Amino acid sequence: MAKYIIEGGQKLVGEVTVNGAKNSVLPILAATVLNNDTSTIFNVPNIRDFKIMIKILESVGCKIEAMDNFLTVDSKTLDKIRIPEELVREMRSSIILMGAMLSRCGQVEISYPGGCEIGPRPIDLHLKALKSLGADIKESHGFIYCKADKLHGAEIQLDYPSVGATENIMLASVKAKGTTIIRNAAKEPEILDLQDYLNKAGCKIYGAGTSVIRIDGVDKLNSVEHTIIPDRIVAGTYMAASAITSGELVIRNIEVEHLQSIIAKLREAGCLIYNNCTTLKIIGPKNLEAVESIQTLPYPGFPTDMQAQMMALLTIANGTSVLSETVFENRFKHVSELIRMGANIKTVGKVCVIKGGDGLLGAKVTAKDLRGGASLVLAGLAAKGTTIVDDIYHIQRGYENFANNLRTLGADIRKIF
Q: Where are the beta strands (DSSP E) in 151-211?
A: 155-157, 179-183, 204-206
CB atoms within 10 A of CB 46: 15
Q: Among residues 62, 105, 116, 146, which one is catalytic?
A: 116
For the CB of residue 295, give the shortest distance to ligand UD1 in the complex, in Å.
13
Q: Which of 23, 43, 75, 173 binds ligand UD1 (CB under 6 A)?
A: 23
**Footprint (CB under 6 A) of ligand UD1, residues 178-207:** 186
The whole-angstrom separation of Cα 157 and Cα 137 is 19
Site for ligand UD1 in 383-412 (CB under 6 A): none
Judged by CB, which is closer to ligand UD1: 327, or 360? 327
Q: Closest approach of Cβ 157 to ligand UD1, in Å? A: 14
Closer to ligand UD1 by Cβ: residue 93 or 366: 93
Closest CA to 366 of 393, 346, 344: 393
Site for ligand UD1 in 116-135 (CB under 6 A): 119, 121-126
Our answer to whether residue 271 is catalytic in this structure is no
Note whether 389 and 376 are within 8 A (CB): yes
| Cα 389 to Cα 28, 295, 306, 316, 344, distances in angstroms | 32, 27, 19, 19, 19
Please, what is the minimum distance in Å from the beta carbon of residue 286 to ligand UD1? 32
Q: Does 43 bind ligand UD1 (CB under 6 A)?
A: no
Using the minimum distance from each CB to ligand UD1, give the nearer residue, 165 or 323.
165
Q: Strands of 2-55 (E only): list them.
A: 3-7, 13-17, 38-42
Closest CA to 218 of 235, 204, 201: 204
Q: Listing from the earlier edge strand, what are the strands of the sheet with 204-206?
A: 155-157, 179-183, 212-216, 204-206
Q: How far apart are CA 135 and CA 161, in angstroms?
A: 21
Give the per-residue contact string, 202-241, with ligand UD1 (x = CB under 6 A; - = no). ----------------------------------------
Q: Looking at beta carbons only, is 316 or 327 nearer to ligand UD1? A: 327
Q: How far is the CB of 76 from ligand UD1 (least distance, A)?
A: 26
Strand-pair partners of 322: 293, 353
CB 136 → ligand UD1: shortest distance, Å? 18
The residue number with the shortest CB distance to ligand UD1 is 164
Interacting residues of 348 by C-beta distance below 8 A, sequence separation 6+: none
d(CA 194, CA 25): 9
Using the minimum distance from each CB to ligand UD1, give the nearer residue, 15 or 124: 124
Nearer to ligand UD1, 168 or 387 (CB): 168
* Nearest-approach distance from CB 23 to ligand UD1, in angstroms: 3
Work out whether 171 is an interface residue with ligand UD1 (CB under 6 A).
no
CB of 25 to ligand UD1, least distance (A): 9
Out of 93, 103, 321, 396, name the contact with ligand UD1 by CB under 6 A. Answer: 93
In this complex, which beta carbon is closest to ligand UD1, that of residue 23 or of residue 245? 23
Q: Per 3-state DSSP, what percentage of the chain is helix, strand, and coil (rounded to 5)?
A: 35, 30, 35
The span from the CA of 125 to the CA of 167, in Å, is 11
For 28-81, strand residue ranges (E) read: 38-42, 63-66, 70-74
Residue numbers 300-339 binding ligand UD1 by CB under 6 A: 304-305, 327-328
Distance between CA atoms of residues 303 and 10, nearest Å = 27
Annotated catalytic residues are: 116
Residues near ligand UD1, by CB under 6 A: 23, 26, 93, 119, 121-126, 160, 162-165, 186, 304-305, 327-328
